Amino acid sequence: MSDNHHEEAHTGPIKNPKQLLVAVLASFVIPIIAIIGLVMYVTSANKPAPGNANPEKALAERIQKVGMVEIRDANRPLATGEAVYKVQCAACHVAGVAGAPKFADADAWSARIKTGFEALVASALKGKGAMAPQGGGDFNDTEIARAVAYMANAAGAKFEEPATPAAAGAAAADAAPAAPIPAAVPVAAAAPAADAAATAPATAPAAPVATASANGEALYKQACQVCHAAGVAGAPKLGDKAAWSPRLATGMDALYASVTKGKGAMPSRGGAAQASDADLRAAVDYMTATVK
């Protein structure tokens, strides 16, 4: 009897093969369930908040400009809706990039046209989805409204393109007194000045590199930044070395050709149909210079 008691004292909780099998399975299953639960908990923190399910829209909201100061020539003639479309809007609306309704696509524009011209213009001015305010360009409100009318009418609308507003300074210019006419310069005094001007050396021309850089930046802001600022539809972001590196490896001539012919969602000439070849090359140079 003492022998039986001694054996029971050394017997563990597992008394048969079935209990051993259950214990082995539990030792594997319980940790796996715990790991899966932990992974689900961690990854749930990366889910977009309600209302921001569209990652492109969320990105556009994060990079939206807080404020800006713009200096524009108030005396220049306003561009037509077609001209604004070709320079600025075609980059996305030709191929329907990031949900933009394609040009002349009646089905895509139908619901938008029903909201009215004012609502469409407000969306263009304030920005909507991946589209930046004013389409991301440098045109004024009237020119943007003209582009909206041009695109909507191509899809079946009957909107009237806004007329050029009366120049505010026209009446003031008529009412203002004429500037005094300067006194005639004596011939004797004017002659030496004319001789000096004739003998002065010609002014050196402006550096072509600086001019090309300015033209490239201007074209980028008008047409390219709509996609390249936020990386819309796979466009490499401005200043993103990792995105531009494989493209630079193909050589500048290949990049110029891609812009001229179009590539992927980017239409030919980057949507800037009126831009010259020199300006297109300057825009490519401007963008690549930020990652070199």
Task: Say if pTM beats, i.e. exceeds, 0.75.
Answer: no
CATH of 81-154, one of 1.10.760.10, 3.40.50.300, 3.40.50.720, 3.40.50.360: 1.10.760.10
pLDDT one digit per residue (tens) for the chain, 292 residues: 455 555 555 566 777 888 888 888 888 889 899 999 888 888 775 555 555 556 666 666 666 555 554 555 556 788 898 988 888 888 788 888 778 899 999 999 999 999 999 998 888 888 887 787 876 667 888 888 898 889 999 999 999 988 876 644 444 445 444 444 444 444 334 344 444 444 444 444 444 445 656 787 887 777 787 788 777 777 888 888 888 888 888 888 888 888 888 887 777 777 776 778 888 888 888 888 988 8
Give the 3-state secondary structure of residue 129.
coil
- The whole-angstrom separation of Cα 150 and Cα 93 is 12
- Would you list the DSSP string of 219-258? HIIIIIHHHHTTTGGGPPPTT-HHHHHHHHHT-HHHHHHH
- The whole-angstrom separation of Cα 233 and Cα 202 is 50
Ramachandran quadrant class, 116 (left: phi over 0; alpha: psi -120 to 50; beta: rest): left
Task: Give pLDDT, residue 254.
Answer: 86
Distances (CA, A) of 158 to 79, 89, 161, 180, 208: 20, 20, 9, 50, 46
Task: Give pLDDT, residue 109.
Answer: 93
Q: What angle do CA 83, 274, 128 make, to 5 degrees?
A: 50
**Assigned superfamily of 208-289:** Cytochrome c-like domain (1.10.760.10)
Asked if 282 and 213 touch (Cβ cutoff 8 Å), the reply is: yes
Write out the residue limits of the CATH 1.10.760.10 domain(s) in the chain: 81-154, 208-289
